Amino acid sequence: MKGKSIFTKSEIDELERLIILRNNAQATDQKSIRQRMRKIGFYGQDDWGIKDLKVSDLSSLIKSERIKISDSKYPILTAKNENSKLEVKSISKQINKPNVDKDELYVLNLCDKILNLESSRQQKFDFLLGDKNKNGKSAKLPVDSFYKELNLVIEYCERQHTESVNFFD
């Protein structure tokens, strides 16, 4: 392979722009546009056997996972289905386990990076209550991470989920 098979989102966006530009360019200008695509690391005919490349060809390579999209800060993500649910395919070397004792913090920080959002930690809701105490009162229970934009809660599997823990009971 002359080029590469993993591109950042911005490289894919630029490739799409160059493909459209090349398809609408005069034959004399197409060579310089092809050179710009090769500088990004994309060799349509040599690596993928595609002549007269269209944006749909690039999309097919991505959908078939022959080309993967990455961002230098985050794991490689690919669409699992039409609903664009994301599946982590490979972890980027830039995401290192932090120097903390708790795996929970590592996992929740990783979720923040994958989703490119900052979660609210230990968020409490009026409807999420623990068992009643001896005085008949229930405490609001915290969740590990809450993403308001996605209406998503992430709860790390901890001891209180599988056994009795006085603090939560």
Burial class, 36, CB count within 10 angstroms (exposed 0-12 / middle 13-18 / buried 19+): middle
Average pLDDT over the chain reads 77
**pLDDT score recorded for residue 36:** 93
Tell me the one-letter amino acid at 126.
D
**pLDDT score recorded for residue 43:** 94
How many C-beta atoms lie closer than 10 Å to residue 49's C-beta? 7
**pLDDT score recorded for residue 42:** 95
**pLDDT score recorded for residue 61:** 92
| Domain parsing of the chain, residue ranges | 6-90, 103-161
> In the structure, what pLDDT confidence band is assigned to residue 166 with cuts at 50, 70 and 90?
low
**pLDDT score recorded for residue 90:** 40
- Tokens 């994958």, located at residue: 114
Task: Read off the pTM.
Answer: 0.44
Strand partners, 87: 78
